[in-house]
């Protein structure tokens, strides 16, 4: 049986290393404020009374006194007639404000200028420890999504980082990686967000993809400090795998009847989410008491998926009480873990310490075993598509196709034939006037049609590009960016999600109003626009004209070139080359050397102008965002 490093051993190494990454001292670890349990009956009373329309407001509020003291005062004061719960809360707590409140868009600015102007607005300074805050303090600056999302979010950050790279802010990418490594070291994993009420779950594990992005934008040596943290995170997701017999499961791991291992989403708690307490509690009350624990766990596991909520996870697409998330093996989750295993193997080979070669081989075998298991379990030949799998029966959920089928293309698991068939179905069924829809069902949930989401657009666009469909990728990119730009010109805002079916309608669904900001929308827009600009500077229309690999990895290299066109394109690092055997490392290295050998003036008039701008930016303070070269 394959034996990977045990969680305790990896976490012990991280603890021994201390702050292996980042130079700022970490905030001291203090007692963490847990609103749902530290406020006694007050918490439930406030949430169920609807004092705030959004349950998240109260868990983000800061107690003005010790929580126990407030709870005691509430118990003593709440009996008499005339007691106002709302007044009591307003006198006892400092209420949070939306991120970006007071920021006014300049209507004369281009969308690109607007996005770059938002980076400082969405960036939080390093936190200080506060025993009365649910915020888990982080030692380095970080970007938050915006609006009600006042903290860092795990999977959002990968897509935000794409735009930071395109804006020349690899320093901020590094700071965010430092923070994620810090969280792994101190709490054992990267939680959903840096709030105490998120500690029982994670989110789609993009840490390996973030490291690969950073390595490609800088160099592989810069990524090595995060190797130990990446292995520790992998151990968190694989906890219990070695003890499972066929057809058994534990937390996030499932061993199939054939002995192969795949993963699912999970949460260690089976109770209402504090940040969505009222809707969770009230919906659970419509179920028999014996069914509520499973419902709560599935709600939380769905939140870990990032797709909260979607018909993807529902037995009955119209009934949220039929969530079956913990019963499913998600296609995209297992693609992410495949990529993490490949990245660990690549970084171990690159580091070449004693024993690294053997560990690299273990992770490479684990990645290939996962790939074969996923292809066998999730790909339906008759449909030419990947589906989530009900692990107890092995049945594919073929009645609810989702855009998660693009993940095996983005991460290079699919065979060429599978990739072509998936791309064709995405084009035929999922592509709409404004981009791709997540599913084909309009359930009223926000991760269903007619909405489109920047992270899913990116994965689908770059996934189909990787498998030879640059035409489809370019069409989808143009539609999505046109929708972004149209909405910005009409409202002055970049939003969390968009209606890609009716371009005149604002996106809806979900537990809260559509949020402005917005981190991942901004990041994906700049990344897609960065591709367009660098290709224009080369005097080419698409990657094929340059003879480049149609891979998501090289798309990142294109963004890195736009980030620093006068410097060096990274050579073919093991991280970049490891993502798929379909890549051609030697060819990529040759193209990189060719690019680096060209003087700025020989890189076309467009690029010469870009280089001049970059040289000017180099004289500015590191915190200054790069000046864009103009509206694209």
Task: Give the active site residues.
Answer: 308, 496
Q: 131: closest CA among 193, 181, 65, 43? A: 65
Q: Following CA atoms 419, 420, 425, 430 in sequence, which dihedral angle do they give, to the nearest 10 degrees?
A: 70
For residue 87 the two structure tokens come to 């007044």
Query: DSSP string covering 30-60, please?
Result: -PPP-HHHHSTHHHHHHHHHTSSSSHHHHHH
3-state secondary structure 578-600: HCCCCCCHHHHHHHHHHHHHCCH
- Spell 601-620 as b/e; 16+ CB within 10 A means b: eebbebbbebbebbeeeeee
Please name every residue paired with 431 in a beta bridge, in sequence order, or none if there are none.
Answer: 436
- Spatial separation of the C-alpha atoms in residues 274 and 60, rounded to whole Å: 10
Give 599's contacts (C-beta < 8 A, 6+ positions apart).
none
- Which regions of 439-519 does DSSP assign to beta strands (E)? 451-453, 497-499
- Spell 513-545 as b/e; 16+ CB within 10 A means b: ebbbbbbbbbbbbbbbbbbbbbbebbeeebbee
Please name every residue paired with 195 in a beta bridge, in sequence order, or none if there are none.
Answer: 135
Q: Confirm if 246 and 254 have CB atoms less than 8 A apart.
A: no
Give the Cα-Cα-Cα angle 274, 270, 69 (nearest 5 degrees). 40
In whole angstroms, how far apart are CA 274 and each of 148, 164, 223, 511, 519? Answer: 15, 31, 36, 13, 24
Q: Confirm if 301 and 249 have CB atoms less than 8 A apart.
A: no
Q: Confirm if 157 and 194 have CB atoms less than 8 A apart.
A: no
- Spatial separation of the C-alpha atoms in residues 283 and 567, rounded to whole Å: 56
Q: Confirm if 505 and 498 have CB atoms less than 8 A apart.
A: no
Query: Could you identify the residue written with the tokens 């965002």?
Result: 625
**SS3 helix, strand, coil % of the chain, rounded to 5?**
55, 10, 40
Give the Cα-Cα-Cα angle 495, 500, 502 (nearest 5 degrees). 110
- Which regions of 232-374 does DSSP assign to beta strands (E)? 248-250, 253-255, 261-263, 328-329
């Amino acid at each position: 049986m394959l034996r990977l490093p045990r969680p305790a051993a990896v976490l012990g190494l991280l603890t021994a290393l201390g702050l292996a990454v980042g130079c700022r001292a970490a905030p001291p670890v203090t007692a963490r404020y847990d609103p749902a349990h530290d406020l006694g009956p007050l918490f439930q009373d406030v949430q169920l009374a609807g004092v705030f329309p959004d349950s998240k407001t109260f868990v983000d509020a800061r107690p003005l006194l010790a929580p126990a003291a407030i709870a005691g005062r509430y118990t003593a004061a709440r009996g008499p007639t005339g007691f106002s719960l709302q007044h009591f809360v307003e006198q006892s707590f400092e209420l949070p404000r939306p991120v970006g409140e007071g920021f006014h868009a300049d209507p004369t600015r281009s969308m690109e200028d607007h996005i770059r102007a938002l980076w400082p607005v969405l960036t939080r300074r390093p936190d200080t420890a506060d025993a009365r805050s649910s915020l888990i303090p982080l030692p380095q600056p970080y970007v938050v999504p915006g609006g009600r999302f006042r903290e860092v979010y795990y999977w959002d950050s990968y897509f935000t980082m794409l735009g930071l790279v395109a804006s020349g802010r690899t320093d901020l990418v590094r700071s965010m990686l430092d923070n994620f490594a810090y969280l792994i070291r101190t709490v054992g994993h990267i939680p959903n967000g840096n709030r105490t009420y998120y500690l029982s779950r994670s989110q789609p594990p993009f840490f390996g993809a973030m490291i690969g992005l950073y390595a490609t934008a800088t160099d592989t040596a810069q990524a090595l400090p995060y190797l130990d943290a990446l292995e520790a995170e992998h151990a968190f997701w694989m906890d219990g795998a070695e003890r499972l017999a066929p057809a058994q499961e534990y937390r996030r791991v499932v061993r199939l009847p054939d002995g192969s291992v795949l993963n699912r989403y999970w949460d260690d708690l089976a109770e209402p989410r504090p940040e969505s307490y009222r809707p969770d509690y009230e919906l659970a009350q419509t179920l028999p008491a014996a069914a509520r624990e499973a419902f709560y766990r599935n709600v939380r596991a769905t939140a870990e998926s990032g797709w909260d909520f979607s018909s993807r996870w529902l037995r009955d697409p119209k009934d949220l009480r039929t969530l079956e998330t913990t019963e499913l093996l998600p296609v995209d989750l297992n693609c992410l873990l495949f990529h993490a295993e490949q990245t660990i193997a690549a970084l171990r080979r690159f580091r070449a310490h004693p024993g690294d070669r053997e560990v690299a081989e273990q992770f490479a075998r684990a990645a290939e075993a996962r790939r074969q298991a996923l292809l066998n379990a999730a790909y339906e030949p008759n449909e030419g598509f990947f589906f989530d799998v009900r692990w107890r029966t092995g049945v594919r959920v073929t009645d609810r196709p989702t855009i998660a089928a693009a993940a095996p293309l983005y991460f290079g698991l699919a065979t060429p034939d599978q990739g072509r068939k998936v791309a064709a179905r995405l084009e035929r069924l999922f592509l709409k006037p404004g981009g791709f829809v997540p599913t084909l069902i309009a359930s009223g949930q926000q991760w269903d049609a007619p909405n489109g989401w920047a992270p899913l657009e990116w994965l689908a666009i770059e996934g189909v590009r990787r498998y030879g469909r640059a035409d489809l990728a370019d069409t989808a990119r143009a539609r999505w960016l046109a929708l972004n730009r149209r909405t910005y010109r009409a409202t002055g805002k970049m939003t969390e999600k968009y209606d890609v079916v009716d371009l005149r309608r604002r996106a809806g669904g979900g537990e809260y109003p559509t949020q402005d900001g917005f981190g991942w929308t901004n990041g994906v827009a700049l990344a897609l626009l960065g591709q367009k600009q660098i290709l224009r500077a080369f005097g080419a229309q698409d990657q094929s004209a340059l003879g480049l690999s149609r891979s998501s990895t090289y798309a990142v290299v294109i963004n890195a070139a736009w980030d620093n066109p006068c410097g060096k394109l990274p050579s073919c690092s093991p991280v970049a080359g490891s993502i798929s055997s379909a890549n051609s490392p030697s060819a990529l290295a040759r193209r990189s050397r060719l690019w680096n050998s060209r003087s700025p003036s020989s890189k076309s008039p467009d690029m010469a102008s870009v280089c001049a701008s970059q040289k000017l930016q180099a004289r500015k303070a590191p915190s200054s965002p790069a000046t864009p070269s103009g509206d694209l």
